[in-house]
Amino acid sequence: MSNENYTARPLPVVVFADFICPYSYIALDQVDDLVRDYNVELLWRPHWLHPEVPPSGAPFPADSAPQERQARTLAWLREMAPERAAHVCFPEKIQFSLFAFEALEFAQDRGLALPFKTAVFETLWVEGRDIGQFSTLQAAADKVGLDADELGRALTGQRYRQRVHEALQLARDAGVSKTPTFVLGRYRIAGWHYYEVFQTVMEKQGVPLRSALMAGFSPKKDGS
Amino acid sequence: MLNEYIVEPGVIPWRAGQLAGISFKCQILLNGADGGPEVLRFRFDDCPSVFAHMHLTSQFQLLLHGRMDFPKSTMKLRAIAVHYTDHNFPYGPFAAAGGHDMMVLHPKPGGLITMADRDARRQINLKGRHLYGTADDTHWELMREFNAARAKPLIPPRSGPYAIMVECEPHALIEVGGAAEGRYEVVLAGSALLSGHTLLPPGLRYVHGDESPQPIEVGADGATIMLLGFDRDAREGGMTGDRLSVAAAAAIERSI
């Protein structure tokens, strides 16, 4: 049982992800559900899958049979997240993530990291746009109420570059090797998983449902 | 004490099955009726998506022919290949193609739970292991344990459960030792005498116990044998009579 009291303070939840990862994309709904259902403090952190890719992007390796791979991923998405799968648009190249990570830091400083990350994911996976372009990120910023011009200046001046590299190092130091990787208090889940798994992890740590809190339920300190 | 089971698949009938739109042929090689090992052999028709599921015991999938592609980009199984999961660990969906032929090997009956069952998702083994390896991607090693025979550790013993493909010289005598948590020995090529039975591919022996079984006597043309050893996870899970077990048993019954 937990020796923490998560009625008083939120459980820290960190998601290490890359915008170009389809499994991270469909984790959006689960993470949103988690924030809706439990008292958690969510932080979205970068894990860069393809640092070797240049800003203009790179073709998928020919030996990776991109069409087959896409079909396989789509079959998986249809089973795991049918609503997202119905609208998914696969990119035609491996996109460059670093600018999007910098933009996420920009949004973080303005308290809009969570809606911004969703906007970036949907820009890529629904609209099929290239997130390696400043203009794409600025359009996503605009959607969530960020100053697109200011973001453009921040990206051009590489204002958040160092911070992103530190965040990427943090992910490496933490042993993150899969996207998405979820750290939920004392538990780590590597790779996409069912929402019910997150519920189980919350219960194991004595994190009450928000609905229970609102109904006046107050668990004891031992979580019972 | 030593428990042994011998299976000669050549004498076991095939039956046709269909589940969730997936057509296949199936052999029940060991039915686990005594609470002991359960082995099914499946030949899926080409199928882009076999639904995500889990079993209530640890499991080896031994791909004898064809291919299985999982969502993870690096997980493309090409025969000969092995895929292991701990009890209550979900996997898939996966695509099967190319003349698929696979053995599913459990230390005890494992049932079948579709991950569409939301209650079942609450029973997922959060610390479960998921291991795999293919013969093509694994280098040969000379292993002292098997009279210096060449072997490919598709899943090396340091992982806990292991899958080792041993290439045996004609007439070699292979001492395989006891198997406290259970071990399958599957003849992939050639022939071998196991516990008094001459086995041709994909004949198998299952041994469970501290005592060593009789050594494997390799036939005149040599043999390739896959050793699939369980570890302590084989003691976990199983059909306990709870709601999930009943559902798992019913699902496997429907599918075969």
Of A121 and B92, the structure prediction assigns the larger pLDDT to A121
pLDDT tens digit sequence for B64-112: 999 998 877 778 899 999 999 999 999 988 889 999 999 999 999 988 8
pLDDT tens digit sequence for A47-64: 999 999 999 999 988 766
Q: What mean pLDDT is reported for chain B?
A: 91
Give yes or no for residue A123 having a pLDDT over 80: yes
The partner residue sitting opposite A196, judged by closest CB among B69, B95, B122, is B122
Average pLDDT over residues B171-184: 92
| Structure confidence at residue B238 (pLDDT) | 81
Closest chain B residue to A73, measured at CA? B71
Give yes or no for residue A177 having a pLDDT over 70: yes
The partner residue sitting opposite A196, judged by closest CB among B48, B69, B118, is B118
B55's CB contacts (< 8 A; 6+ apart) are: B85, B87, B88, B106, B110, B111, B112, B113, B248
Query: Hey, of B46, B67, B124, B125, which one would you mutate to test binding to chain A, going by the most A CBs within 10 A of its CB?
Result: B124
Average pLDDT over residues B195-205: 96
Closest chain B residue to A187, measured at CA? B126
In this structure, are residues A124 and A133 in contact, taking their beta carbons and an 8 Å threshold?
Answer: no
Contact A194 B51 (CB under 8 A): no
Closest chain B residue to A198, measured at CA? B122
- Provide the shortest C-alpha distance from residue A197 to chain B (in Å): 6
Question: Which of B143, B115, B121 lies closest to B52 in space, CA to CA?
Answer: B115
Average pLDDT over residues B27-54: 92
ipTM of the complex: 0.75
Give yes or no for residue A72 having a pLDDT over 90: no
A5 pLDDT tier (thresholds 50, 70, 90): low
A121 pLDDT tier (thresholds 50, 70, 90): very high
> Coil, strand or helix: which one is B159?
helix
